[in-house]
Structure 1
Amino acid sequence: MKTDIHPTYFSDARITCACGNVIHGGGTKKEMSVEICGACHPFYTGKEKIIDTAGRVEKFKARVAKAKTVEPKNKLKKTARATTIRKATKTLIKKAK
């Protein structure tokens, strides 16, 4: 087996969470930082957190509102086209008789 190919293992590594919780354990880095740990994770704490990244909920609501205003225009176009098709069909039937 080759020697000196494995990373250095620190048995006293320090892992710091964004909530301030500090965990001591082993790792290949002396200090690490994490965003969520067992002390602040919603699954383990029973508290639900809604993380809204860059107003995604507001963007979605705006898109839904815009879709509701555009919908009647499309329906008008469809009904106008349907009536012209009906008229054209009736005239073709009259000509065929």
Structure 2
Amino acid sequence: MKADIHPNYPVVAVTCSCGNKFETRSTFGKALAIDVCNECHPFYTGKQKTLDTGGRVQKFADRFGAFGKKA
């Protein structure tokens, strides 16, 4: 590898809007403020919900629910 071509990669502090703080490395070089992290994101916390806007899930099940069922 060539010398002196790689960017500086310091340790930076990351603060989430939920208050969680951790350290990582980044070429950004300054402290980061983020909106979601693994402690508050619904996918990782198990609080994710499927939104049924206007009964679309039921409408799909009504139209295509019979496919794949054996008589």
TM-score norm. by structure 1 comes to 0.41
Q: Within 2, Cα distance between the matches of 1:34 and 1:18?
A: 6
Task: State the shift of 1:8 in Å.
Answer: 0.9
Q: Which residue of 2 aligns with 1:25?
A: 24
Q: Within 1, Cα distance between the matches of 2:4 and 2:24?
A: 23
Structure 1, gaps ≥5 residues long? 50-56, 62-97
SS of the aligned residue for 2:37 comes to coil
After TM superposition, the structure 1 stretch with the greater mean CA deviation from structure 2, 23-32 or 33-42, is: 23-32
SS of the aligned residue for 1:14 comes to strand
1:15 partner letter: V
Identity of aligned residues (%): 48
Task: State the shift of 1:39 in Å.
Answer: 0.2
1:35 partner letter: D
Matched, 1:34 2:46: no
Higher RCO structure, 1 or 2 (CA under 8 Å, sep 6+) = 2
Matched, 1:16 2:49: no
Structure 2, gaps ≥5 residues long? 55-71
Q: How many residues align?
A: 50
Task: State the shift of 1:2 in Å.
Answer: 4.4
TM-score norm. by structure 2 comes to 0.53
Q: Within 2, Cα distance between the matches of 1:31 and 1:17?
A: 11
2:21 partner letter: V
SS of the aligned residue for 2:43 comes to helix
SS of the aligned residue for 1:48 comes to coil
Task: State the shift of 1:20 in Å.
Answer: 1.3
Structure 1 vs Structure 2 CA RMSD:
2.3
Rg: which structure is higher?
1
